[in-house]
Amino acid sequence: MPTDPLVTVRDLRVGAITDASRKVEIIRGVDFDVAPGEIVALIGESGSGKTTIALSLMGHARPGCFISGGSVRVGDFDVTGLSERARRELRGTEVSYVPQSAAAAFNPAKRIIDQVVEVTKIHRLMPRAEAEERARELFRALALPEADSIGERYPHQVSGGQLQRLAAAMALVGDPQLVIFDEPTTALDVTTQIEVLRAFRSVMEKTGMAGVYVSHDLAVVAQIADRVIVLKNGEIQEVGATEQILTAPEHPYTKELMAAFEPVPHVPVEVPHSSPKPILEVEHLSAGYGGKPGAEPTYRILKDINFKLERGRNLGVIGESGSGKSTLARAVAGILQPYEGAVQLDGEELKPDLHERRKDHLRRLQIVFQLADTALNPAVPVGTILGRPLTFYHGMKGERRERRVIELLDMVQLPGALRHRLPGELSGGQKQRVNLARALAAEPELILCDEITSALDTVVGAAILELLKDLQKDLGLSYLFISHDLSTVEAICDDVLVMLNGEVVEALPAQKMSTEATHPYSKLLISSVPKLDTAWLSGLEQDPELVARFTNR
């Protein structure tokens, strides 16, 4: 017997107000259903309307946007016809949301358990003791360690993968009928992503909840979704079962997305201004957190790191969440002062502390951070964000600075009109490209890239890699490229360092990583890269002892 849909969307239209106070339509006539217990994926490029449509299921629109037409029903509720007060009652009980950035979703000053059960207090769903027991049940179901006590910690005291699963627990504790997952594994390394996907799928299957999964990663979608909706420019291009979309796509745009998922071949870039000196040399670098600056820290993270990066070449750094990848970038940039070792830029030793470095050293070595939500000032327009380094490093003001801001946005494939918007009005991919443009504003020689393509869809991510190569060719740039995506590292990097527990356990040319890696941990990383195969995750067999030895699960 066919069942009635849990979600019914008909002729959904969403409008937005432009900088010139003109109304435009960004979602045009979208129709789809979601059955009880079904997981439907929304895929497409950044800006295609994935998150905008998903948020509309809660009756919510981003700043500057509004639901202008059509209808959305969830269960017995006409979401588009409800008052805002009634919609608030709906959120967390009938429909809930798991954000892309769990770090930005949690209050760092409050215990995790207090935040996870908050929805039960707001909606008066159950007594506090019952809510805490429900939360602990979810912690166990989501395979979180120390489920009975992890809630007593603060957000900064758990790993990224653990925090993302805790965000899911926060969404599930109110027992909703529908859960919206907004790119929840985008920023996670491959081994952590596997545990999160398994946990999500297990909980959804056991509870029978329906899900809408927003993602640009087709390999992830293959593991979790029953059906796929392909979007472009606010319109549906194709709808089909996941297997059909992956193996026999019909629409040209779907075929384009599939083609963009294919690995990009690495072609070494010949750069001008070659020099016998490495652009970056790191010797016996050790760093950590806690204690006095320059002294041995309370928590040691990096342990005796050594490597050289030749000018015009790219070095990839991969490893588990917590392995020390981002800490390495911060120590090289001077944000975190190491207690041992030295960093040289083009043969000149850099001061350990950022505040003691010469202005020219600051300009020549830039960093692009992973989390755009926390890296960009939410109260400042994009044009001001990009204009500040132009004034600081190059003394640009007025019209000259304005023209350069537009040029920088064009370099990262964003329209110049975006300079008037606030970061909160941009998609995740757009915010990350603004991050890159800010680094380019300094006209650097070396860019430390901390997961800069992890928030981008496959089409835009491939375009950004091509952009990085073009910039490298034109400007003689070098990149230290931190990533959990091995295909990305192989596409742009010449060499790879594999990090585990703050140490380099293997160093290989990027093109030999998949075939010649010898360390067991390197092999685990390679085996954890998702495939475009709906049976991949369920059929994945990894040595439990090896997984337990080398990961934080």
- DSSP characters for 293-329? TTSPPSEEEEEEEEEEE-TT-EEEEEE-TTSSHHHHH
Q: What is the pLDDT of residues 392-403, one digit of tens each?
A: 999 999 999 999
Instruction: Summarize the confidence of residues 102-108 as an average pLDDT.
Output: 87
- On the question of pLDDT at 281 being above 80, the answer is yes
The last residue of one of the domains, among 228, 260, 292, is 260
Are 490 and 514 a contacting pair, CB within 8 Å? yes
Pairing of strands 23-34, 7-17: antiparallel
Of 526 and 434, which is predicted with more confidence?
434
pLDDT score, position 278: 93
Range 548-552, long-range pairs (CB < 8 A, 24+ positions) = 550/191, 550/320, 550/500, 550/520, 550/521, 550/524, 551/191, 551/192, 551/195, 551/320, 551/524, 552/145, 552/159, 552/161, 552/162, 552/192, 552/320, 552/321, 552/322
By the 10 Å C-beta count (0-12 exposed, 13-18 middle, 19+ buried), 426 is classed as buried
Distances (CA, A) of 188 to 105, 269, 519, 546: 16, 29, 22, 20
Of 158 and 305, which is predicted with more confidence?
305
Of 476 and 21, which is predicted with more confidence?
476
- On the question of pLDDT at 326 being above 90, the answer is no
pLDDT score, position 381: 95
Does residue 531 lie in a domain region? no
Does residue 15 lie in a domain region? yes
Does residue 549 lie in a domain region? no
Instruction: Summarize the confidence of residues 120-137 as an average pLDDT.
Output: 94
Does residue 110 lie in a domain region? no
211-225, 336-350, 495-509: least confident range: 211-225
Instruction: Summarize the confidence of residues 366-371 as an average pLDDT.
Output: 86
Does residue 84 lie in a domain region? yes
Instruction: Summarize the confidence of residues 233-245 as an average pLDDT.
Output: 95
For the CA atoms of 212, 457, 184, 539, what is the dihedral angle to 10 degrees? 80
What secondary structure, in 3-state letters, does 76-108 show? Answer: CEEHHHCCHHHHHHHECCCEEEECCCHHHHCCC
Instruction: Summarize the confidence of residues 226-234 as an average pLDDT.
Output: 95
Predicted confidence band of residue 228 (pLDDT cuts 50, 70, 90): very high
- On the question of pLDDT at 45 being above 50, the answer is yes
Distances (CA, A) of 22 to 19, 61, 113: 7, 17, 44
* Number of folded domains that form the chain: 2
Are 223 and 185 a contacting pair, CB within 8 Å? no
Instruction: Summarize the confidence of residues 36-55 as an average pLDDT.
Output: 91
Pairing of strands 503-509, 495-500: antiparallel
Q: What is the pLDDT of residues 486-544, one digit of tens each?
A: 778 888 899 999 999 899 999 999 988 888 999 998 888 888 878 877 887 777 766 66
pLDDT score, position 295: 79
CA nearest to 488, candidates 317, 233, 299, 368: 317
Assess whether 316 and 387 both reside in one domain.
yes
105-109, 315-319, 428-432: least confident range: 428-432
The last residue of one of the domains, among 214, 229, 260, is 260
Assess whether 347 and 241 both reside in one domain.
no
Assess whether 246 and 390 both reside in one domain.
no
Structural domain of residue 401, as residue ranges? 280-518
Assess whether 353 and 433 both reside in one domain.
yes
pLDDT score, position 547: 64
Of 121 and 204, which is predicted with more confidence?
121
Assess whether 307 and 210 both reside in one domain.
no
CA nearest to 540, candidates 553, 548, 530: 530
Assess whether 188 and 318 both reside in one domain.
no
Does residue 39 lie in a domain region? yes
Size of the chain, expressed as the number of residues it contains? 553
Are 191 and 159 a contacting pair, CB within 8 Å? no
Buried/exposed code over 49-83 (b: 16+ C-beta within 10 A; e: otherwise): bbbbbbbbbbbbbbeebebeebebbbbebebbeee
pLDDT score, position 424: 84
Predicted confidence band of residue 1 (pLDDT cuts 50, 70, 90): very low
Assess whether 250 and 353 both reside in one domain.
no
Instruction: Summarize the confidence of residues 135-161 as an average pLDDT.
Output: 87
Assess whether 244 and 340 both reside in one domain.
no
- On the question of pLDDT at 465 being above 70, the answer is yes
CA nearest to 201, candidates 175, 221, 229, 218: 221
The last residue of one of the domains, among 232, 260, 288, is 260
pLDDT score, position 159: 75
- On the question of pLDDT at 101 being above 90, the answer is no
Above pLDDT 90, what percent of the chain? Answer: 56
pLDDT score, position 383: 96
Assess whether 338 and 469 both reside in one domain.
yes
pTM of the entire structure?
Answer: 0.75
> Looking up tokens 């056991």, which residue turns up?
206
Does residue 134 lie in a domain region? no
Q: What is the pLDDT of residues 542-552, one digit of tens each?
A: 666 656 666 55
The partner residues of 509 in beta bridges, in order of sequence, read 495
Instruction: Summarize the confidence of residues 193-216 as an average pLDDT.
Output: 84
Instruction: Summarize the confidence of residues 16-39 as an average pLDDT.
Output: 87
Does residue 64 lie in a domain region? yes
Assess whether 487 and 403 both reside in one domain.
yes
pLDDT score, position 23: 84
Assess whether 330 and 451 both reside in one domain.
yes
pLDDT score, position 72: 95
Assess whether 323 and 228 both reside in one domain.
no
- On the question of pLDDT at 419 being above 90, the answer is yes
CATH of the domain at 457: 3.40.50.300
Are 305 and 487 a contacting pair, CB within 8 Å? no
Are 99 and 54 a contacting pair, CB within 8 Å? no
- On the question of pLDDT at 553 being above 60, the answer is no
